[in-house]
Amino acid sequence: MNQPIGFIGLGNMGFPIAENLLRTGYPLKVFNRTASKASGLVAAGAESVSSAAEVATRGGIVVTMLADDHAIEEVSAGDDSFITRLGAGGMHISMSTISPATARLLAQEHAKYNVAYVAAPVFGRPEAAASRQLSICVSGPADAKKRAVPILAAVSRATFDFGEDAGAANVVKLCGNFLLAAAIEAMAEAFTLAEKNGIDRRLAAEMLTQTLFPCPAYQAYGRRIAENNYEPAGFRLALGLKDISLVLQTAGSSPMPMPLASLLRDRWLAGMAKHRENLDWAAAALGVSEDAGIKIAGSAYAK
């Protein structure tokens, strides 16, 4: 039997990842602040526990998929955290998108208890997580990464190793999300320009994403933007703003200017001001239509 795994965070991404681990044969102890979200996993054989610390077994493995830096710091802190319960020989695989600086601090704190920290942020939306099509960036100690290989293989199609610096994988993850946000803005502007000139934005999107930009990101987000369809959210606009803010934070500490990232931050911030935080993050594109004087007839998104 595979070694037991503790899993913390059963949101849109965490649940299907945990489900695939369970299907692969890993016994799971799971924790989520909203305990009802664990019911499907419990029905399939997982054990739900009442605190984050309880998922850990001495010398075992804990996987986290949490929303932000604060959430992961909260469950990792204290004398009775899952880190202290793991103890010597334990390993924490963090799949969250967090600041590289936070990842490095976490690695330092884990080392005090002889717990290995492996950063493993993922690329892919919930449907990719469900079908084991995630791409994972990995960084951390070589021995720990080797131990993590079968676990990551159970939930992904590919992993990419960026060395031993705990923050490296998160740097690459932020680079990727910056490129996605830039693509959303670029497509929104292009499709809106087509619409302002009497062209069906959906036809323009179909042509451009099948010829010049025939890749999954442009095709999936392009369809949403062309159709102004932002529900259900695969990745919430509020989390998109968090990631763009982390990009700028990392750039500031590097140091390097990122003027496009600053523009994107303001676009997403405007979406938050219009109460769109729970729409898909591609809903930032609505701001482009509004700037162009286009009203989305009959849309609940119009503000």
- Domains 5-165 and 170-291 are alike in CATH topology: no
**For the purposes of burial, counting CB atoms within 10 Å of the CB of 30, is it exposed (0-12), middle (13-18) or buried (19 or more)?**
buried
Per-residue pLDDT, 163: 98
Whole-number pLDDT of residue 301: 64
Question: The domain 5-165 is classified under which CATH number: 3.30.530.20, 3.40.50.720, 3.30.390.30, 3.40.50.1820?
Answer: 3.40.50.720
Tens of pLDDT, residue by residue over 22-51, are 999 999 999 999 999 999 999 999 999 999
Find all residues with CB under 8 Å of 137, minimum gap 6, and list them. Answer: 119, 120, 121, 122, 123, 159, 160, 162, 168, 169, 170, 172, 173
User: Residue 274 catalytic?
Assistant: no
Which candidate, 180, 159, 154, 156, places its Cα nearest to that of 169? 159
Q: Which fold has domain 170-291?
A: N-(1-d-carboxylethyl)-l-norvaline Dehydrogenase; domain 2 (1.10.1040)
**Of the candidates 112, 113, 111, which has an alpha carbon nearest to the alpha carbon of residue 140?**
111
Confidence at residue 78, expressed as pLDDT on a 0 to 100 scale: 86
Q: What is the pLDDT of residues 139-198, one digit of tens each?
A: 999 999 999 999 999 999 999 999 999 999 999 999 999 999 999 999 999 999 999 999
DSSP 279-294: SBGGGGGHHHHHHTT-
Find, among 93, 146, 152, the residue nearest to 117 by Cα.
93
Among 300, 263, 298, smallest CA distance to 283 is for: 300
DSSP annotation of 65 reads -
What's the CA gap between 2 and 116, in Å, rounded?
19
| pTM score | 0.95
Per-residue pLDDT for 1 more than 90?
no
* Cβ–Cβ under 8 Å, residues 10 and 37: yes
**pLDDT number for residue 54:** 97
Domain range list for the chain: 5-165, 170-291
Q: What's the mean pLDDT in 64-79?
A: 94
Phi-psi region of 298 (alpha: psi -120 to 50; beta: other; left: phi over 0): left
pLDDT of 298 > 60? The answer is no
Catalytic residue among 29, 145, 173, 242: 173
Q: Which of 239, 90, 110, 242 is nearest to 166 (CA)?
A: 110
Decide: residue 55, CB within 10 A, 0-12 exposed, 13-18 middle, 19+ buried: buried
pLDDT single digits (tens) 83-142: 999 999 999 999 999 999 999 999 999 999 999 999 999 999 999 999 999 999 999 999
Query: Using an 8 Å Cβ cutoff, are 99 and 73 in contact?
Result: no
